[in-house]
Structure 1
Amino acid sequence: MAEAALHTETTCKIRHVHIECPICLSRFTDPKILDCLHNFCLKCLQELIDKQDPKTDIIICPMCKKETSIPDGGLSDLLSCFFLSSLIDDVINREGPKEGINSPVSTCEGCDEGLEAVSRCVDCDANYCKTCLDHHAKLKAISHHQIVYAVGSSNERPKDKDKTETQKCRKHTDQELCFYCDTCELLVCPKCAVLDHRASNHNLSEINDSIRSYRRAVDEALQKFDECRKQFQKVDDSFKYSQQRMQLMVARALRNIVAKEEEEITKIRNASHLLQERVTQIGQERGEGFESIQSSNHDKMSRAEQIVASVNDLMQHADNFELLDLKPKVMHNLDFHKELQFQTVQHSKSFIGFKSHDIVTDADLGEIREEEKWEVNTEFDKYGGGDGEFINARDVACFSNGDIVVTDTLRQKLSIFTSKGSYKSTGGQSGTEDGKLKQPFNVAVTSDDLLLVTDGQDVKVYDRELRYIRQFRPSQNQVEGQSKSLLRGIAVDNKDRIAVADCERKVISLHNMDGSIISTIHHDDISSYCHLSVSSKERLIFRNYDKMKLVCVDFMGNEVFNISNSIDGKPLRPLGVCCDDAGDIYVSVYCGGSGTNEIHHYDASGEHIGCKARSLYNPQGMTFTPTGDLIVADALSVKVLHRL
């Protein structure tokens, strides 16, 4: 009983799908067929066409959006679906509960009646009586459902027989429709055939013949569809196979990539170990060479000191007669200084570096460089008055993240760029009145990324976003007999002690971070446009352009060296100066014209080592990045030099 109820429910669902209009969702009333074979109530189609352009001669199917031409006589001349009308009438006649009747052994799922003559639709897995089966077969013909009949062969469909009901011609109402014109695709009566379809090119046939031909055409089309279905299945199976194969290939490729990654990492790690061992070996060999030379020099000095000590002792304790007797020996021993020659160290031997390759091949990470060279790695040179542009790049500073601050003295601005030269922001002309720059010149950065700017008589402090924080004034207010203060050079050591050069008063003042004074150093060689640097050895280095001098003093003001910038008779006027972590000094120099200027390298004692960069336009301020690159403010551009 439960199974019979389930079949009844399923049958109702199937039945309602086929007898309800998709527009009004009610049972069809005068159903009409569009060219796309979708069915709708005549009234629903009329309402649909009323909402469209009244001048249009087509109707658009609301199901598939295909177009159907409206006949000259209007929508009523569209083909009627007599099958649906008949099916609805049959359903109406058979609806209603069957109370008091025992459930039969077999139940038709079209009319819910128990009948002995039952046939079966294999595709729907449903039983039908002979009457309902005819409707079902017609309804499902387009899907080519397989029907198993109760009579004859189990899989053989009975021969077609004429199921066409007699209909009258609309034009000649006393005549029956008995012909079909394939040319006009219309049912016609004998009068229509004679009067309207007698042309030689009209193809007329009897309805039964036309139906048989029509069924054959449908069967052929369905057979072709079966071939399409098989082709689709074949293609779909190939997709499934390809997807499975692709998944296997992806998994295998990922495993191979990981394996190759491990292999290359092992190669790179081995190559890295070899390079490390080589660098360590070079360092040890050079260190041993330094120690050997240093030991030899110490031995020579020790022997000399022993001779000097003996001579001093003799001169103090021997009498005059003894001294005169020993004079030849004493003087002979004192001749040692003529042969006392100390071996000097080659500064170039203190350098060792590594140049990595942009593309690592065969675990070749790079090469060890035993000689120091520099090349321009990045340059940005947008000339003008807009954002990211400058007219006179005077000085540079670098934050811990690699961002570069550029001072433009003509535009009175500070600009921030990335390490690759991309513009980020501008500051120094907005904010409070105190925060506005009037005469910006040199800049420096503290260990916690505070930016210090010399601006006339004041040192102004900004954060990394160029927001004004505070300021302090190093020199006392002007008094009678003293020049007005004008700050130029500024530098910060690794303990965040601030050195500021006052070119008018020829003073370098040393300050704590809060601006409080530590000491004041006077020096006559402090000149206008003075650039200043501080080394790790608590020494201040500044230049004098006019006298072509490079001067170094300690924090107490004691002069360490004062050298002339003239190499092999060639005058070199110093412009900017900075120190690296080891205390070596780099000086930008003017050589006589734009585009001919250079950067020279000195050791911590002021000994000239060599030229490191040539053909610069007008290099001024310089600084080092956290990674050891040298940034140069070259007036019309900013250059980043990389040590090879």
Structure 2
Amino acid sequence: MATKIDHDDLVTCPICYEQFTNPKCLPCNHTFCQSCLKSYIITQLGGEGKQAKEFPCPVCRQEVTVTDPKLTSESIADTMPGNHVITSLIERSVQVSASCEDEKWCGPCYSDNEKTLSVSWCTQCSETLCENCVKYHRRFRKSKHEIISVEEMKKEKTKPAQPLDVEEPCMKHTGEVLKVYCVGHKEMCCVICLATSHRKCEQITTFEEMVSTGSKNAENMQNFAKHLDNLEEKTDKLRNKTDENLTTLNNRHDEISKKVTTTVQQAIDKLDHLRSSFLTTFKQMHKGESIKLTEAKERIEVFQQNVKKGKKLLKTVQEQGSPKQVFITTEKLKMQLKQDIDSLQTELNNASFIDYNLRTDYVIETIRNNLTSVVEVDINQTLGLCSSLKEISSIANCFFIEDIEPIDVMKLEVHKEHSVKPNGEITGGTYLPDGRLVLCCLTNLQVYDKDGNFLFDTSYKAGCPRDTCLISSSEILVSFGGGINKYEIQQNELNEKQKISSKSDAWGLAATKDNIIVGYTPEVDVLSMDGQVVQNFSRSGDHVSCVAVSLTGNVYYTDRNDVVCKTLDGREVRRFTNPKVRNLTGIAIDKYGNVYVSGFDSNNICVFSADGSHSKMMITDINSPQNIGFNSTETCLYVCTFGDGCHFYSLKKKD
């Protein structure tokens, strides 16, 4: 009988933090309640009735493409596939709880807050069912689920529950479930995927075959769990370090804020003290000068009054006195006026008019006129977080390459299979997911099947195609003298979809999920998918640069006769060089980072081990090789040459 499993975190919606109700899954595999997702989408799109091509996942912010552009914001969530694993976990949990009661409730109904007596039991899902749910369960579980009565179930209590086994929906095609696995593309496929994108793929197998006893994949699944343990441990250490850094940063913030506040306050106190001292001194000085001027003013007013009295006396005597009396009065007034003037001059001899002139200290002037900030804080960055993320990324990358045995380059053998000779020089190429090969022939793009048979060609007014690379199962990029174009892959044609701006001399071309790598004569640019330059690497040499990217996202490009490997942020990882390979014109990287390069002047192909410690001449009898590349399974290598067509080689490991 099933036992209760602690998986509350698995069945809790990250939006409402309650147990999932009708869980809906986004393409990024994050799951939400249907109602929560509906409300979130309505908010993101600005209300009900809104339409959009995409919206960000609430958790990882990855853009989710809306398959039907006519859908409105309130109906998009309904079209998302349900997460049947989460639903089964909830139902099992409910059933385990219900099994502890005397009455048995229907698991699906109970999970929807309804209590309906159960009548049956599904042995595969370990859940009780009412009459209605039995009918729908049989429709939904079309394979081999055995449904028994509740009475029979009671007899089965001591038996272990059947392993969880649900049909997983296809994220690309609504209503379809995943049926098979494409080994070449490492993709799970529904019947529509198989018929459209993987029709010509040769390595298609069932899930049962992939996990059969003794298979390499069964061992890899166990190793994957170990990788998850390692990844969890590394992430936990990174989280702890980040948390410690955040705590330190908060403490430093408080410390610096307090110190700046104290320093500024001390400066303010100093300025206040100087201001107070100045105002006191200035007041005393002003008082003294004011007294001097006031006394001078009073003395002048006394003299003025004497003058007025003399003037009045003289006028009166002139009107009423004799000429003699006028004469005597005039003389007396002259003597008195002379004495008053002499006295006034004596008293005001040192007096003067006064004005104040302010002389500000240069320090305060500097502060007032030039000070724009009190202090500055520098951010001292270390690469600890970035390095830890790269370490985590390297662990995660192991998930996708461990199912193929690494190639020992020293034991690698090549065998020439066939050749094609298009008209004109071949400068670049790329394999399509279905095994077809697109070649850039300077005058046009030519498409061949996996056996080298010509299928069709496409001419372009944009100029001569120089190099091409795959960016999705249905799209390629092509570099021209005038920039980069994006093309949609059709059965018998390539349709131009978008022009991406770049420097006019674009040549070598490669791409990651989010970036385009472009090689020029003097440099290499890392572009965003809309053509914005996000990184630039300088290089040496007169010839144009060929470029490549590894599964881990590192960039490889030619620098004279070296191949340089750098991370996307510009850190150089290593260099690969062999004096026997000259004028490098092609680079290819296999799943394990082994580097294959073509020497145009030396007429050979060399392979380096991923760490650069070993190298081997793989092909030594080829004229003027240029672009090289692998098919999806890395069992075939094509080599484009100058004037001698394109040659195909099979790759085999020595016994």
Aligning the two structures, in what range does the TM-score lie when normalised by the shorter sequence?
0.3 to 0.5
Which structure exhibits the higher relative contact order, with contacts defined as CA atoms closer than 8 Å and separated by 6 or more residues? 2
Compare CA radii of gyration and give the structure with the larger one. Answer: 1
TM-score, scaled to structure 1:
0.36
TM-score, scaled to structure 2:
0.36
